[in-house]
Structure 1
Amino acid sequence: MSKNTVFNTDTFLLEDPNELISTDKWQKTVNLLAKLFDAPAGFLVQYTEKGFQVTIASEQESNPYAAGIIIEPKVNIFCRRIVETRQELYVNNALIDNCWDNNPEVHSDGFRSYLGVPVFWPSGEPFGTFCVMDYKETNYKATYLELIRHLKDILESDLSLLGAYAEMQKLAITDPLSGVHNRRGFNVLAEQRIKLALRTKTTLGLLYLDVDNFKAINDQYGHSVGDNVISLIGLVLTKSVRQSDVIGRLGGDEFVALVMFDDQEDLQAVKCRIAAALCLHHQVEQLPLFTVSIGITETNDSTTISDLLEAADKDMLQKKRRLAL
Structure 2
Amino acid sequence: MPDPKKWLIDQPLELVPFAKWQRTVNLMASLFKAPAGFIVQHTEEGYQVTIASQQEENPYSVGGIIPADTNIFCRKIVQTRQELYVKAATQEDEWLTNPEVSEDGFNSYLGVPIFWPSGKPFGTICVMDFAITDYDEPYVELIRQFRDIVQADLALLDHFDQFRALAMTDELTGLYNRRGFTTVAEQRIQLAKRNDASLALIYMDMNGLKTVNDQLGHPQGDALLKALAESLKQHFRSSDVLARIGGDEFLLMAETNDLDALAKSCQDIDQQLKHHLAQYSDIRTGVSFGLLQMNDLSRPLESWIQLADEKMYEDKRSRRRD
TM normalised by structure 2 equals 0.50
Larger radius of gyration: 2
